[in-house]
Structures are given as structure tokens and as C-alpha cells.
Amino acid sequence: MEHNVGRKDRALRLIIAIAFFVIGLTAPIGAGLRIILFFFSATALFTSIYGFCLLYRVLGISTHEEHGK
């Protein structure tokens, strides 16, 4: 799997994942919105960990910096 998410993008996604997770746990919201927040939190977390975003690939976007080239 080719990386297409750069370091800054990955860090931002990790922060967003944590924020959505905490909001989903603590905010007085309905179950539907809570599930949506957890879904986006998990998506941001996995793209942050693996450095790959399927939507970026479909759109031809890459924020990954090639080192040594």
C-alpha cells in the first residue's frame, strides 16, 4: 500500500480522531450522531496510523513527502 498522507496531515487526523472520540463520549447528543462521530474518529485514526487515504487515492491527491528524492 502506497502512502499518500503526509506527516502534518497524519498529525492533524490524529488530533481530529481524538477530539471526535472525546466529544462522542462526553457530549449530550443522540445515539445517531454519536455513531457518526465514532465512525469519523475511527476513519481518521486508521488513516493517521497507516498513512493511506482511499479518498485521496481516488482524487489523485498526495500530501506525502518523498524523502531523499
pLDDT digit of tens for each residue in the chain (69 aa)?
A: 788 999 999 999 999 999 999 999 999 999 999 999 999 999 999 999 999 999 999 999 899 987 545
Q: 2 lies in a domain?
A: no
What pLDDT score was predicted for residue 67? 57
Total number of domains in the chain: 1
Domain residue limits at 45: 7-59
Q: State the DSSP string of the chain.
A: ------HHHHHHHHHHHHHHHHHHHHS---HHHHHHHHHHHHHHHHHHHH---HHHHHHT---PPPTT-
Model pTM score: 0.83
Q: 32 lies in a domain?
A: yes
Q: 64 lies in a domain?
A: no
Q: 68 lies in a domain?
A: no
Q: 69 lies in a domain?
A: no
Q: 36 lies in a domain?
A: yes
Q: 53 lies in a domain?
A: yes
What pLDDT score was predicted for residue 61? 87
Q: Do residues 44 and 13 make contact, with C-beta atoms less than 8 angstroms apart?
A: yes
Q: 13 lies in a domain?
A: yes
